[in-house]
Chains A and B, each alone.
Chain A
Amino acid sequence: MKAWQKPGFWLPLVIVLVWGGVVLLIHQDTMRETAFIILMAVGLASSLNILLGYTGYVSFGHIVFFGLGGYTGFYLLSAQGWPLFAAAIGGGLLSALIAGLVGLAVLRLRGAYFALATIGINEAARAFVSNFGPYGGATGMFVNFSAYQKYGGPGPALWTTFIFLWITTLVVLLVSYLVKHSRFGLGLLAIREDEDAAMVMGVKAPQAKTITYVISAFFPGVIGTLYFFKNGNIEPGDAFQLHMSIEMLVMVMLGGMGTVMGPLVGAVGYQWLRGYLLTSPIFKDLHLAVAGAMLLVIILFVPTGVVGWVRNHVQRLQKVLE
Chain B
Amino acid sequence: MLDQLISSLTDGLLLGFVYGVAAMGLTLIWGVMSVINLAHGPVIALGMFGTYLLFTHLGVNPYLAMVPVAGGGLIVGLVIYVIAVHRVINAPHLSSLLATFAVNMIIIGVGTAVFSTSPQNIDYSLGSVEVGFLTFPASRLVGAFGAILVTACLYLFLYFTRPGKAIRAVANNRMASELMGIPSSRVLALSFGLGTMMAAVAGGLIATFFPFTILSGGPYELKSFVICVLGGLGHPLGALVGGLLLGGLEGLIPTFMPVSWVPVVEFGLFVLVLLVRPSGLFGAK
Contacts and interface: CB of A to CB of B under 8 A. Distances in A.
Contact of A127 (B36, B99, B106, B260): B260
Interface stretch (A8-16, A65-73, A294-302): A294-302
B24 to A, nearest CB: 17
Contacts of A275: none
A295 B99 CA distance: 7
A119 B225 contact: yes
Interface string A229-261: 000000000000010001001000100000000
Contacts of A249: 98, 101
Contacts, number: 130
Contacts of A115: 36, 93-94, 97
A98 interface: no
A119 B222 contact: yes
A292 B263 contact: no
Contact of A111 (B92, B104, B108, B266): B92
Nearest to A257: B94
A128 B267 CA distance: 10
B61 to A, nearest CB: 31
B84 A300 contact: yes
B88 to A, nearest CB: 7
Given A286-B113, A292-B105, A120 B267 contact: yes
Given A117-B274, A124-B263, A131-B258, A289 B229 contact: no
Contact of A128 (B88, B105, B264): B264
Given A106-B271, A111-B93, A286-B109, A127 B102 contact: no
B171 interface: no
Contact of A291 (B109, B110, B113, B267): B109
Given A128-B264, A299-B88, A108 B275 contact: yes
Q: How large is the interface on A (under 10, 10 to 19, 20 to 34, 35 or more residues)?
A: 35 or more
Contacts of B226: 120
A123 B268 CA distance: 9
Interface in A77-121: 105-106, 108-109, 111-113, 115-117, 119-121
Given A106-B271, A119-B225, A124-B263, A292 B84 contact: no
A51 to B, nearest CB: 12
B173 interface: no
Q: Which residue among A106, A116, A289, A290 has the maximum number of chain B CB atoms within 10 Å of its CB?
A: A116
B55 interface: no
A190 B108 CA distance: 37
Contacts of A126: 263
Interface string B210-244: 00000000100010011001000000000000000
B157 interface: no
B36 A58 contact: no
A221 interface: no
A289 B113 contact: yes
B95 A303 contact: yes
Contacts of A58: 93-94, 97
A122 B156 CA distance: 38
Counting contact residues on chain B (CB < 8 A from A), the size range is 35 or more
B103 interface: yes
Contacts of B93: 58, 111-112, 115
A271 interface: no
Nearest to B222: A123
22 contacts: A58-B94, A58-B97, A105-B275, A109-B278, A112-B97, A116-B229, A117-B274, A120-B274, A124-B267, A127-B263, A127-B266, A127-B267, A128-B264, A131-B264, A285-B112, A285-B116, A286-B113, A289-B106, A289-B110, A292-B105, A295-B105, A299-B98
Interface of A: 56, 58, 60, 105-106, 108-109, 111-113, 115-117, 119-121, 123-124, 126-128, 130-131, 138, 242, 246, 249, 253, 285-293, 295-296, 299-300, 303
List 8 tightest A-B contacts by C-beta distance, closest first: A289-B109, A292-B105, A288-B109, A285-B113, A127-B263, A124-B267, A296-B102, A292-B106
Interface of B: 36, 83-84, 87-88, 92-95, 97-99, 101-110, 112-113, 116, 218, 222, 225-226, 229, 258, 260-264, 266-268, 270-271, 274-275, 278
Given A288-B112, A289-B113, 16 more contacts: A108-B275, A112-B36, A117-B275, A119-B222, A120-B270, A121-B267, A124-B268, A127-B260, A127-B261, A246-B105, A289-B107, A290-B109, A292-B106, A299-B88, A299-B98, A300-B87
